[in-house]
Structure 1
Amino acid sequence: MLNLVLPYEISVAEVAQLRAAGTPFTLLDVREPWEIATASISGSLNVPMGEIPARANQELDPDAHIVVVCHHGARSLSVTAWLRREGFEQAQSMAGGIDQWTREIDGAVPLY
């Protein structure tokens, strides 16, 4: 696979296309447990933002495509920047977060 530099953000539509195509990637949800209990995207790996530094190297593949999701996209962008600095070159933030996912892709996921 070519090691192209991916943009820092990926749209919810692009993430939906990856899922529909069966393209392998890790959907990393960095919201807090209460938020995940309120609304989540199936198949996501849940690691709260504050636990990323302690858990990233144990639980994430630095060569994998990682799509980071939060509520609106601010925390995920911050985590994406941190992951990129740590060598996770294929990390991307899902623009608009789970809120945008609900509005554009899956209305069954609750808004909060």
Structure 2
Amino acid sequence: MNEDITCQEVKDRLEKGDKFNFIDVREEWEYEEANIGATLIPLGDLPTRISEIESMKNEEIIVHCKSGARSGRAKKFLNSQGFTNVRNMEGGITAYLEL
């Protein structure tokens, strides 16, 4: 199972300009309130939009939500669909914005 990632690690990678697959599984209204550059695919839409990320199956994908719960479910779902390197950002955007 892939290790999750801390908010600090994500922040450091974003500040360095690292390119990685970054998915926000919150709802659109939450994304509009605050986002940190991830692609928005709400958790409920993930099953029907999986074709959009199919090419990333063997690449690192970092998922985040508000607190880490929905992105934890997204990670489980993606793993069940054959994605091999999905990491959940611990604490979600709430913790990230407190850094």
Q: How does 1:21-100 map to 2 (within 5 A)?
A: 21-42=16-37, 44-56=38-50, 58-60=51-53, 61-100=56-95
Give aligned-pair identity as a percent.
33
Moved runs in structure 1, 4+ residues, more than 6 A?
none
Task: After superposing the two structures, state which structure 1 stretch, 10-19 or 46-55, moved more.
Answer: 10-19
Read off the aligned partner of 2:48 and give its amino acid letter. Answer: A
CA distance in 2, matches of 1:22, 1:33: 25
- 1:16 shift after superposition: 1.7
Structure 1 residue runs of 5 or longer lacking an equivalent are 105-112
CA distance in 2, matches of 1:6, 1:19: 20
Higher helix share: 2
CA distance in 2, matches of 1:52, 1:76: 11
- 1:26 shift after superposition: 1.0
Q: How does 1:1-16 map to 2 (within 5 A)?
A: 6-7=2-3, 9-16=4-11
Count of matched residue positions in the alignment of Structure 1 and Structure 2:
97
**1:13-58, Cα deviation, whole Å (9 max, x unpaired):** 111222234333111000001100111112x1100100101112x2
TM-score (ref. length: structure 1): 0.80
